[in-house]
Amino acid sequence: MDTAVTTRPCLINVKGCRQAYHKDANADLVVLDDVNLTLHEGEIVALLGRSGSGKSTLLRIVSGLLKPTAGEVTWRGKPVSGPTDGVAMVFQSFALFPWLTVQENVEIGLEARGVHRSERENRAETAIDMIGLGGFENAYPKELSGGMRQRVGLARALVVHPDLLLMDEPFSALDVLTAETLRTDLIDLWMDGKLPVKSVLMVTHNIEEAVLMCDRILVFSSNPGRVATELKVPFPHPRNRLDPDFRQLVDDIYGIMTRRPPAGPRAATATPISPLAMPLHRVGTNIMSGLMETLAAEPYNGRADLPALANSLQYEVDDLLPLGETLQLFRFAVLEEGDILLTDLGRTYVEGDTDQRKRIFSEALRQHVPLANMIRQVLDERWNHRASAVRFRDELEDHMSPDYAADTLRTLIGWGRYAELFSYDEEAEQFGLEDIE
């Protein structure tokens, strides 16, 4: 099958793609770095990665919505310079026009191409029936459930008969059951050759979804986004989630995604990494305690398999990995080949009462998060024990995008308040030491 696919015509080819946002004073913020991707007819490919790994950016580059800072994108051998003609997109948020009916939403791509009204209506009917929306033609999106809305999104993309269907986390806004139905419906249509597309490229952060649906998976690493590994999924459709080989592949991918980045290339960068250049995940202290307590208790007794843990908690990679990494940052737990292990410090934390927990957390925070320590030092030095948050945010923004900087600061404020390391006045945007002993 592999050789069969690679001999088929190449649809899209991305070479040496790099996407960076320019920052005035400092180095560029690199979102994607040296990414290569080739897509042939007849395959479903997943871009799998954590949020912030640039996979959605790559999808937008492929679709022609975004022009890469450097690198070459070709569509059937010709360079891409604007929205590509043979490409249609399905959005995570559905992106339906709320003032158009299902029928009108589906027709919009055809209308833009100037297709005549009667033909438009015929083709829309066909797509609507195929995707299981028959009878809903006159409904407005707000009358539909999430699953039905995404079906409209799919019909709208399919009706233009694109060569390549792009899907940006198409099922992540849906509940578990609805998402599963849509996935199997789509795969069934694909296997029956009823989908009027040649190839599908989808972005996801759900490992099982990628293994369930795709022929090939590109696993992305974060900061900056790179293709860490490329995997082939050798199982025939329909796939069984409980099959041991299926489970093993999911496990392997967890292992890849929790692998620490090799130290080499980081040290080699020209500018020294500042202690502040550390984006923090938005993870609350309650959920950290909760996970540690779960890990300490039966049946895990201090060690858990990540996919199994994710399953039992109904978490996706995007929820679980940041949490695990944050615990690792505080040395409360260690991530190892798709497993998570509670450390002795983590165990002590779980066994402590509120005050003891706060003390342990506070120490860990000062020790492992330089920014927290720095804020406290500044506050101790000032005569009025107050410091503006803006200054710290500005410093963070030298090293990361404004969104990440704001998130990082917000997370840090939560942690610092819990640890009673400092207080924060939202109105004045100032750190302080009020109510801190």
Partner 1 sequence: MSATTRYSMAAGWRLPNIWDLVAFVCVIGALVGVGHVAAGTLTRIDAPGATQITLDPLNLPVYAVRTTLRMFAALAASLLFTFTYGTAAAKSRRAALVLVPVLDVLQSVPILGFLTFTVVFFMNLFPGQVLGLELAAIFAIFTSQAWNMAFSMYQSLKTVPADLYEASISFHLTSWQRFWKLEVPFATPGLVWNTMMSMSGGWFFVVASEAVSVGDNTWKLPGIGSYVALALEEKDIVAVGWAILAMLVVILAYDQLLFRPLVAWSAKFRFETTAGATASDPWMLRLMRRTRLLHFIGERVGDMAATIGGMRLSFTGRVRSMASPEPSKAVDAVWIAVLLALVSMATWRVVSFASEAISWADVGEAVGLGLITLLRVVVLMILASVIWVPIGVWLGLRPIWARRAQPIAQFLAAFPANLLFPPFVLFIVYFHLSPDIWLTPLMVLGTQWYILFNVVAGAAAFPGDLKEAAANFRIGGFLWWRKVIIPGIFPYYVTGAITASGGSWNAAIVAEVASWGDTKLQAHGLGAYIADATDKGDMARVVLGVVVMSTFVVLFNRLLWRPMYAYAQRRLTLG
Binding status of residue 99 toward partner 1 by CB under 8 A: yes
How many Å apart are CA 205 and CA 319, to the nearest integer? 10
For residue 371, the surrounding DSSP H or E stretch is helix 370-381
Binding status of residue 81 toward partner 1 by CB under 8 A: yes
Q: Taking CA 272 as the corner, what is the angle to CA 267 and CA 275, rounded to the nearest 5 degrees?
A: 105
Binding status of residue 85 toward partner 1 by CB under 8 A: yes
Total residues interacting with partner 1, rule: CB under 8 A: 40
Binding status of residue 114 toward partner 1 by CB under 8 A: yes
Judge whether 48 and 218 are in contact, CB under 8 Å. Answer: yes
Measured from the CB atom, is 94 or 431 closer to partner 1?
Answer: 94
**Least Å distance between CB 389 and partner 1?**
15
Out of 66, 296, 313, 341, the residue judged to bind partner 1 by CB under 8 A: 66
Half-sphere exposure of 215 (CA within 13 A, CB side): 18
Binding status of residue 21 toward partner 1 by CB under 8 A: no
125: helix, coil or strand? helix
For residue 18, the surrounding DSSP H or E stretch is strand 10-21
Measured from the CB atom, is 92 or 221 closer to partner 1?
Answer: 92
Binding status of residue 91 toward partner 1 by CB under 8 A: yes
Report CA-CA distances (Å) from 290 to 296, 354, 372.
10, 13, 23
> Residue 188, Cα to own-chain centre: how many angstroms?
26
* Helices 317-329, 244-258: crossing angle, 10 deg rounding: 40
**Least Å distance between CB 283 and partner 1?**
21
Region 153-182 residues binding partner 1, contact defined as CB under 8 A:
156, 160
Pairing of strands 226-232, 216-221: antiparallel
Out of 49, 54, 71, 109, the residue judged to bind partner 1 by CB under 8 A: 109
Binding status of residue 409 toward partner 1 by CB under 8 A: no
Measured from the CB atom, is 90 or 249 closer to partner 1?
Answer: 90
Among 372, 403, 392, residue whose Cα is nearest residue 285: 372
> Residue 94, Cα to own-chain centre: how many angstroms?
17
Measured from the CB atom, is 140 or 235 closer to partner 1?
Answer: 140
**Least Å distance between CB 158 and partner 1?**
12
Binding status of residue 421 toward partner 1 by CB under 8 A: no
Out of 74, 101, 181, 184, the residue judged to bind partner 1 by CB under 8 A: 101
* Helices 370-381, 389-397: crossing angle, 10 deg rounding: 150
Measured from the CB atom, is 100 or 308 closer to partner 1?
Answer: 100
**Least Å distance between CB 364 and partner 1?**
32
Binding status of residue 427 toward partner 1 by CB under 8 A: yes
Out of 77, 79, 112, 383, the residue judged to bind partner 1 by CB under 8 A: 112
Binding status of residue 113 toward partner 1 by CB under 8 A: yes
Binding status of residue 282 toward partner 1 by CB under 8 A: no
The encoded tokens of residue 84 equal: 């590509």
Residue 389: other Cβ atoms inside 10 A: 19
How many Å apart are CA 180 and CA 198, to the nearest integer? 23
By CB atoms closer than 10 A (0-12, 13-18, 19+), residue 242 is exposed
Residue 72: other Cβ atoms inside 10 A: 13
Binding status of residue 26 toward partner 1 by CB under 8 A: no
Binding status of residue 65 toward partner 1 by CB under 8 A: yes
Residues of the shown chain interacting with partner 1 in the complex, contacts defined by CB under 8 A? 60, 63-67, 81-83, 85, 87-89, 91-95, 97-101, 103-104, 108-109, 111-114, 137-138, 140-143, 156, 160, 427
